[in-house]
Amino acid sequence: MKSSDHKKILLYPLSIRIFHLVLIISLIITIITGIAISFSYALLPMRTIRLMHISGGFVAFAVVLFRLGYAAISGDYKNFSIKLADFRTIPDLVKYYMFMQQNPPPLRTKYNIGQKFTMFSWLIAILYQSFVGILLFNSSFISKGRAFFPLARLILPQQIRVTKYYLTIYFIMTIMLHIYLAHTEDIAKTQSMFTGWVRLSKKK
C-alpha cells in the first residue's frame, strides 16, 4: 500500500518515551534485586544487590514524580481520568479480551479503563514501595525521624517485607499482562512507544 494512503501521528512525545524506557530499566533492576534479597544465596554480594535495589528504587520513584509533574503541566492527566462513560465500556472490553468480540470499545481518551486502573495501581504501589523502602533502609534514621518513628511502631518490619514481596509479585504479573495485551491488541502502538509515531489510514 502506498505511503500516501497513510498519515503519521505523534502518539508518544520524546519525554514520554524516555520516561517509559528509564522506568522499565529501573523496575527490572528493582524487581530482580528485590527478589534476590529474599533468598539466602545470591549470585552477587548482598551489599552490591542492596545498592542496586536502592538505586533502582530511587530512580523509579524520581521518574514517577517527573511523570506526575509532566502530566499536570502538559494536561496529559486528562488521558488518565475516569468517568462514568469509561465504566460503561467494561462489558465490551471484557468480551474483547476474552475473544468474544472482534473490536474493542471506542476510547474516550488514550487509554481504556483497564489500563487506567492498572496504571493507577502501579502509581500507588510505587509510592508505597518507595515509602516503606525508606522505613526499612536504616533503623537509626527511622528512630531519629519524628515523622517515621510512630509509623515504625505501628507497622512491623516483617509486615512491610511481606507486603513488599506480594506487591512485587503483583508488579510481575500485571507487567507481563501489559506486555501481552500491548503486543496482541495493536503492535503499531507498541512500536510507537519506541519511535513515537504511528501510521493510520487516511480513510479513518
CA pair distance 29, 68, nearest whole angstrom? 22
24 alpha carbon, distance to own chain's centre: 8
Architecture of domain 3-201: Up-down Bundle (1.20)
Whether residue 50 is predicted with pLDDT greater than 60 in this model: the reply is yes
SS3 per residue for 91-139: HHHHHHHCCCCCCCCCCCCCCCHHHHHHHHHHHHHHHHHHHHHHHHHCH
Task: Return phi, psi of residue 9, to 5°.
Answer: -125, 130
| pLDDT attached to residue 135 | 78
In the chain, pLDDT over 70 holds for what percent of residues?
85
Global confidence as pTM: 0.83
Digit-coded pLDDT (tens) for 159-180: 888 889 999 999 999 999 998 8
Going by pLDDT thresholds of 50, 70 and 90, the confidence category of residue 149 is low
